[in-house]
Structure 1
Amino acid sequence: MSAVFEQVRHRPPRPLARPRELVVACAPMRSNVNLSTIARTAGCCGVSRMIVCGHARLDRTIARDGADAVELEVRNSLPPVLKTLRADGFRLVGLEQVTGSADLHSYSFHRRTALVIGNERAGLSADELALLDDCVEIPVWGLPFSYNVATATSMTLYEYCRQFPDG
């Protein structure tokens, strides 16, 4: 016997019991498409704060409601941002393929996390990596050797939300 499904478009967001203690911090991005996609996903995940570096601009047709749901702070450089976030009690978690990185499938996030995203081509610099508490990476089973930065960020944000579904 098969189930009967009725389409429900644009179901209202699931309410959070408490605000998310997750900040997304991005190095300067080459593509406003990637940045806008990350903002849209952050909005879907209930993330209220993104710190972006460089000449960041959102494409509102891509970011859509995420552009309004997420407070976007633009800064010049990532290392001072990371130092401030650490002083504010955030665990700094880079999304990067490095020696000693944890597999996203087995990583346990801290509730108060700053997810640090590198540039699409260069990743995170040595100075930025030196400031991190942890790095996570997402296994790849084919080519190319890594996921697109917006795709990888989306997967990582979803995993954080899976671990903290109520905020």
Structure 2
Amino acid sequence: MNLERYQRIQQVLKARQADLTLCLEDVHKPNNVSAVIRSADATGIHKIHAVWPNEMRTLSHTSAGARNWVDVETHDDIDTAIAELKAQGMQVLVTNLSNSAVDFRQVDYTKPTAIILGNEKAGASAKAKQLADQDIMIPMLGMVQSLNVSVASAVILYEAQRQREAAGMYDNDISSVPQQTIHRLLFERGHPVLAKVAKRKGLPYPTLDEQGQIVADDQWWAEMQKK
């Protein structure tokens, strides 16, 4: 890994927002999932959550690109997902055109926040709407009453980014992402081939120096070279 790439990865990880996330509920079109993850990466999201449709239990059909930089945590159902998000102290918002919905720009996204996005056909489930803290909507001035789920995610996330950037939340020298996770990402993204071998053999990732180069003892290298 060259120094420029190592420094770029460090810069990206420092800006990651561990307390801002999305939760996809039964979003089933791979191109939409890929687009949502791309927007999440672009706005500094560290992890998104998902409840997949029964016929789609993995991300195998989505493009690798941004997915390599955004963790995806899968939940069995929306109840479990929302319970975990609330346990983390997040306000849970759901996109839903209801009488109680507020303009998405009126929300304070500098607070720990999770945004539920429902599937392409029916939107968020009744359970998600019931458990969420607040309904939000994107004002529509045309004949169409909703945006594509990937477009909606980008619109909302960039408002969240705007607010957090104004509050200086992307300028922290110390990332809100755990150091152990940062080390894992630095190693896996900087040394992908060696990371795969180490993972397959159950070996820990060794330290990286200031240049992003591996600092490991002879025993680790010997284990890595064994067939």
> What TM-score, normalized by structure 2, do the two folds share?
0.62
Show the counterpart of 1:7. Answer: none
* Partner residue in 2 for 1:34: 32
C-alpha separation in 1, matches of 2:85 and 2:108: 19
Instruction: Flag structure 1 segments of 5+ consecutive residues without an equivalent.
Output: 1-11
Task: Give the AA of the match of 1:51.
Answer: H
Aligned counterparts of 2:136 and 2:13: Cα–Cα separation in 1: 25
Task: Please tell me whether residue 120 in structure 1 is matched to residue 123 in structure 2.
Answer: no
SS of the residue aligned with 2:131? coil
Q: CA deviation at 1:49?
A: 0.4
- Kept after mapping to 1: 8 A contact 2:21/2:49: yes
Please name the residue that 1:8 is paired with: none
1:88-167 equivalent positions in 2, closer than 5 A: 88-165=88-165, 166-167=169-170
User: Given that residues 24 and 116 in structure 1 are in contact (C-alpha distance below 8 angstroms), is that contact kept between their aligned partners in structure 2?
Assistant: yes
Q: Deviations over 1:35-81 (max 9, x none)?
A: 11000000001101011112242521xx62x2111001122211111
Q: State whether residues 111 and 164 of structure 1, in contact with CA within 8 Å, keep that contact through their aligned partners in structure 2.
A: no
Mapped contact 1:91–1:110 kept (Cα < 8 A): no
Q: Which amino acid aligns with 1:146?
A: S
How much does 1:120 deviate? Answer: 1.2
Q: 1:74 to 1:15 in 2, by over 3 A?
A: closer
Alignment partners' CA distance in 1, 2:90 and 2:128? 15
Residue in 2 aligned with 1:52?
50
For 1:23, give the aligned amino acid. T
CA distance in 1: counterparts of 2:27 and 2:16, whole angstroms: 27
| Offset at residue 111 of structure 1 (A) | 2.3
Post-superposition Cα deviations, 1:127-165, rounded to whole Å, max 9, x if no partner, equal: 111111112110111132111111011000000000001
Instruction: For 2:87 and 2:37, locate their aligned partners in 1 and report how far apart those are by CA, in whole Å.
Output: 24
Larger Rg, first or second structure (1 or 2): 2
- Please give the TM-score of this superposition, normalised by the length of structure 1: 0.83
In terms of mean alpha carbon deviation, does 91-100 or 41-50 score higher?
91-100
8 Å Cα contact 2:25/2:124 also seen in 1:
yes
Higher helix proportion (structure 1 or 2)? 2
- Counterpart-to-counterpart distance in 2, 1:47 and 1:102: 23
**Residue correspondence of structure 1 range 7-22 to structure 2 within 5 A:** 19-20=16-17, 21-22=19-20
Q: Which amino acid aligns with 1:26?
A: L
Contact 2:33 2:150 in 1 (8 A): yes
* Structural RMSD (CA): 2.0
Equivalent pairs, count: 153
Query: Displacement, 1:31?
Result: 0.6
Once the two structures are TM-superposed, the CA of residue 18 in structure 1 deviates from its matched residue by: 5.5
Spell out, residue by residue over 1:2-55, the C-alpha distance to the aligned partner (whole angstroms, 9 max, x if none): xxxxxxxxxx79768664111211101121111110000000011010111122
Q: Does the C-alpha gap of structure 1 residues 141 and 16 become closer, same or farther in structure 2, counting only changes over 3 Å?
A: farther
